[in-house]
Structure formats: structure tokens, C-alpha cells
Structure 1
Amino acid sequence: MKRKLKFLILIFSILTMCVLSSCKEDESRPTFPLSAEIFHSVAGKQVAFTALTHSAENWTWDFGDGNTSTEKNPVHVYEEGGYYVASLTASDGAGNSVAKEVNLAIELTPYALLTGDHTADGYNGKTWKLAASHSVNDKLVNSDASLSLMDEDIEYLPTGAFDLYLGLAEAYNDEFTFYYDGSYRQNTTDGSSFGGIVYAIVLQQLGLTTITKTGGEAVFGADAFALSTYTPKDNATFVFTESEDFSIPTIPPFATGVQPPGIPIVTYPGVMTIDFPGSTAFVGVRDFHRKVIVQEITDNSMRLIMFLTMSPDAIVSQDPLIALSTTAMILTFSVVN
């Protein structure tokens, strides 16, 4: 009996020491203040979010597209690609809260690539300018369905072509800024714009511009391009279409159809376009035809197809003004950092 009592006393002592030791550990364990960080991983349009928090008991997520969650580590699928700001608000039992956010680029659409990250601090649109370096894809072509080379001997434009061969280095100066809300801004650093000479002559005859410089005679046998005075209008807008069948008036040998009242047209099916309806605004090359085809676009580069009328004979009507395209220019534009 005594042996059993001693054994019970020993067990009680051990348990007491353990409890006291545990209490001391609890008393010495630090209490971390409420904090939160966000970890995320992206796969296509799906994003897995992880809340890295201390002392939090509740988690509220706003994914930036109108959807929310109260899970600690949610997975969210965005319906559309683009730029988003996802935010986390973590709170503790005492009602304290802390917020964090993260900027996301989800399967960027062509429109997002064109206009830039509108969620970034200090966003002021995305600015592009004609790349003087050019590429093997930069060409002078006919405005036919296949965009065949205008001159078989000129397979592509070499670096600085508008400066070296036309004497119009100013062609590389203009900047074109696209905004997420559809507004548009141009910057002509020298007060002039680069474009086709036929269009510049027509505007000069109407008293709407003054030609300041011409070029192209050495290459084409006659001046084909010009610099003319231009003041960009405020409150300009643009329209971006990701896929459409785009038709433009062209000379009869290039036509794939006819539109009333008997105007020959060429149609480019399923192309991306930028247009400036009801405006004198343009991008790249100033001519009768302001709507352009976006042949390719990435985060830092885009390639546009712009149409020109290079023969006075291609102006088939003055009222309304109808000018048939004779030529197209495929040019690369780079982002201005």
C-alpha cells in the first residue's frame, strides 16, 4: 500500500512539473502582431492565392473583377485577361485589420498590350513610336489582298530608311499614346507629321496644312512622302476591334469586291484594327485612310499596316471625298519607356 502511494505521489509530482513548465513556455512565447502578405501563382486565367498571416482569424479577398472570397487560400479564375489588383483584408478576434494588395497581369489581351497597365501607380497610357531600327517585316507593299511587295527589289526596309533614303528623319519623332478608357494623345515634337504627299497636297490646297519637307524622288522617281504641319486635337479617341472583316477602297487591279456606288474594295478577313472615327487623329502615317490593321502586338512591340493613296488619279470623288488606296506600309512600333 505504501509502495502504491509513493508511486502515485511520484506521478503527481511529474505531472505538476510538466504543467508548470508548459505554463512558463506559454508565458515566454512571443505574441506576434497582426500582419499579412500575399503569395500567388498564375496558370492561365487561374490564380491560386495564399494568405501568409499572423494572428488573423478572418480573411476577405477582393479579386479586382467584382468577385470576392472569405477563404484563407482561395483559387480564382478570371473570365477575361487583363490587368487586375487583388486585395486581402485580414482581421483578428479583437477587430483589428490589415490590408495588402498585389498587381496581376492575366493572359494579356491585345487591348491590354496596346494600352498598358492601367492599375499601375501614375498610369498615363502607353506610348508608342515608329522604330527606326525596322525589321525584316517592315515593308512597302501593294494594297492588294496578299499585300504583295510594291517593288521586288525592296524586300524590306533597312534601318533608318525614312532618314537615309527619303531624308525625312522626323518621321521617327512622333509619339502615339493609347489609354485604357479609349482616349488617345499624339505628340509631334517638331509640329509636323509624316505621311503621303498626295494627302498633304490636298490638305494644303484646302488651307489645312503647310508642307514643310518632301522626300522619295531618289527612290521612286518623284516625291512620295511629306512632312506637313499638324496640331493634334484634344479629346481624341480610338476604337480597337480584335477581329473583323475590314474592307478598304482600293484601285481596281487589287479589288476583291465592289461597294456602292461601284467603289472597288479589298477585304482583309478576321484582322485586328485601330480606328479614329470622326476625327483627324491617326497613328504612324498620316493619309486619307486612318483605320489601320494590327498585324502583331506584344508587350514591347507592335506591327501595323497603314494604307496610302500615292497617285492623284486614285482620288475618284471630291464630294464626298473618296480616295482609293494604292499602297500599304507595314511598320514596327516600339514602346516609349
Structure 2
Amino acid sequence: MNLSYKYLSIVFLLICFATNACKKEAIGTTPTIDFSIQVSGDTVRFTNLTSDAKSYKWDFGDGDSSTEENPMHIYPGKGKYVPTLYAVAQNGAQAQGSTVIHISKTSPILLNDNTLSDWDTLSVNVYTSSPAGGNFIMGKFDYDANNIYFYFEMKATVADGNIFDFYLDADNNASTGLLTGDFTGGGYDELLEGQLLLNQSTAPIPLAPYVHTGAQNAFSFDAMTLSDFFKIGTVVQDGAILKFEGSFDRNKLNLTGPAIRVGIITTKSDWSATLGSLPDPSTDSYLLNLPE
């Protein structure tokens, strides 16, 4: 073999080596699993934030799965679930990451749907007043992880400006909070008082929260600094009967235990007379169990 041929061969090999080095796929790294979740009732939206991956698979922890990058999944009911995201990188490297989701009880109640028909599906936590209940006819309650919902039928109008007093036994413990003859069965840790249905920005007595202090036999409540702790939904005047719905924020009012007691008293706008009570006067307040 002559020298020039050897030289050309070496140059050719060097060129091939350089070319192969340029075309070789990057080795890459194992994907770093990253995703966020947004829970609304029993529906969860998964947002995939993982980079450097070519394919994904979700195991939702309830027997279902998806290969969508950002799926939405409806869970079959309340409980603890462990969804897992599997990712495969361009080089074939695989990684996975999991989180824990707690699906709490959901409620059919919607406060922004301009109807009260969703309350028709409830058959529990329904209280029907006797004549002793005054202007109260019926009360219904429901809840989810974030709110306690209420529905009332009353002999009243919004323009009456009735004052509402909600007595709340936040821990269902009669050894703490106010002991009152208005309702038995509980010690009332919180009081929500005001003209519930009037425009709260202009109402002479806006609904305000108070916490009990001092001895159990002393009507001593201090104001709490809270905002947006309640909402009013649909309000319907059906002849002489006023029907309306609303909710209280469980977290802001510390109503996060397994049960609470609630009793409501209505008074005329000038405080001149008591108009109604739910439950009936001098009976046990309503026990609302809140199992998650």
C-alpha cells in the first residue's frame, strides 16, 4: 500500500468518526417528574410539568389510567387515592412520581345556578318546624370539605330585614362555649349575627362573626376579624313564603371537626320581638354530622 493511500484512509476514518459523533443522539437524563393537581369535588385536573419526556402514562390510583399529557379524571367517590405519573425520555430512560389525593364528600348544592331545585335531591339533614318555630317552616343542611350549606323556608320577605342569630357549637362539645336556654344540647362557641339577606355593604346590621369568651353562663362574645365567611345563593319569594340558600366557609369559621351543632333565632329588624327559632325553642340544637 502506498503512502498516499494510507493517508487518505486515515483522513476518511477521521471524517467518519467526526460525522458519527455529530449525529449521535444525546444521552440525555432521566425525566424529573413534576405535576400539579386541582381538586374540585370528585373531579381532579392533572397538569403535567415534566420536561424532557416523549410519552406519559397516568395511573389514577382507582383502576383507571390515561396517556393524555394533562388529563382530567372523575373519582368514584370519597377516599384516599395515590395517582402516579410515568414518563419516558427521548433516550428511553423512565421515571415515575406519585402523590396522595383525598376526595372528600361532595355536595349537589350550587349557589350560582339561579335555582333551588338542587335541594330537592336531599333526604337527610332536613328539619321541619312545628308551630312553635315561629316564622321558620323548614331548614335543610348539607356540606362538603369547604362549606356548610343551608336552605330555609320562612314566613317573611327580604324587605323585612330580619336579624339572624346563628349559634354554632363548633366542636360539638357542651363543656365549652355558651350554655343558653334558647337551645340545649351544646355549648356555643361562635355567634353569627346580622341582617343576613340585606345587601351587606349597606345593611345597618351586617352579618358579623363573634367568638365566645369567659364563663359558660356568661353571654360574652368578642368580634372576630373575618371577611367572605358566608355567601347567599338563590332567593325566591313564593307568595308569603321566602325561600333561600347560602353557605358558611368551614375553614374560616373553624367548622372542620366531625360534627357541629347549630341553632338559629330570628328577630325583628328593630329588635322588638323574636320571630322564629330553628329547631323549636328550648330544644336541642340541630346536630350536623360531618364525616369526610
| TM-score category (smaller protein) | 0.3 to 0.5
| TM-score normalised over the length of structure 1 | 0.31
Q: Structure 2 length normalisation: TM-score?
A: 0.34
Higher RCO, Cα 8 Å, sep 6+: 2
Q: Which has the higher helix share?
A: 1
